[in-house]
Amino acid sequence: MPTTDPRGLSPTLQLAFDLIRRPSVTPDDLGCQALMIERLEALGFHVERLPFGDVENFWATRGHHGPLLAFAGHTDVVPSGPHTRWDFPPFEPCIDDDGMLRGRGAADMKGSLAAMLTAVERFVAAHPDHHGKIGFLITSDEEGPAVDGTRAVVEHLRESHDRLDYCIVGEPSSTEVLGDMIKNGRRGSLGGVLHVKGIQGHVAYPHLAKNPIHQAMPALDALVNEHWDGGNAFFPATSFQVSNLRAGTGATNVIPGEVEVVFNFRFSTEVTHDQLRARTEAILDAHGLDYHLDWTLNGEPFLTAEGELVEAALHGVEAVLGRRAQLSTSGGTSDGRFIATLGSQVVELGPRNATIHQANERVRAADLDDLSRVYEAILAKLFVNGTAHP
């Protein structure tokens, strides 16, 4: 029978149950952060609540000297979708007969939040006068627009001249087994919405019209086949992808007057967003299009190629799980892109990502206890065994 009563479970799983029970669909927090803050204040953390717009955030720190390691994460989750698609209610956590913790946010990322907090509780109990400082940067706006969340908190920290040396983002980075992959960077994301203007008309009289779809296709083909860069040892080559194309009145006998093309670059550190914009516009100009183009920079690429944090993360995984993690920059964007602008070393380390954003989201319950031990081992490597630089 599935386990629905957290009593008797580990502290990490009990906290994960408490967090998952709160249906904190972005940007709502619904008390998740208050629950975390209460426990952090009991450990002697100074907590600064930082609401921006409709988003709840907080920044908590403990310690007075040495480098600062922050755990970063989000309490918001994506919508569950129809509950009929779930084997168990999405906001009623349980551990099924296969040992899987089920519920929206189990993997992304309330399980990581629980593992972070219990790791710090054990570490502080064992090392109350530890070297270094520990921080928590928590938002309820990661799954949404990501404007009033971590991005806004980072700007607050920048203005306050707060130091953030190392950061572990609890995003689900693992693929086949816990700890097989650590993300030490992410590609940049640059979006564009292209409007190509033509002249609307009857399909029987094309000489009286100008079909913007026909006009745009050669330019789009050139953009798709452009060699933007070759990538490097850490990043694959930059990718251009068309995600949406809209045109027409719905009638079969009308040449449209405009076509809208939505596209995205996932780009490496070999090229800048300014270069991508200039090269794109040069290709469009070369094809003589009458166009308007709106750009959105979703995030710059970032990379922590080496350093104390990467070393500590690799050590923590190997010490607890007995495996050597692979460093990777694959996948989409994360809030690490904002934190890296502070000059921080950033890695992402969390549970398996196989079921995130799906119905029946789940994670191996024992993995969360192991993840908590990995986080604790990273803290010990940095602040007890002397890896962290003062």
Q: Which of 29, 56, 76, 367 is catalytic?
A: 76
Q: Is 76 a catalytic residue?
A: yes
Q: Which of 142, 165, 348, 370 is catalytic?
A: 142
Which tokens go with 390?
A: 């003062």
Which tokens go with 103?
A: 């519920």
Cα gap 386→390, rounded to integer Å = 9
Q: Is 142 a catalytic residue?
A: yes
Residues with Cβ within 8 Å of 39's Cβ and at least 6 positions away in sequence, in order, are 117, 121
On the 0-12 / 13-18 / 19+ scale of CB atoms within 10 A, 221 is exposed
Residues with Cβ within 8 Å of 349's Cβ and at least 6 positions away in sequence, in order, are 168, 169, 170, 173, 179, 182, 183, 313, 317, 371, 374, 375
Cα gap 240→145, rounded to integer Å = 22
Active site residues: 76, 142
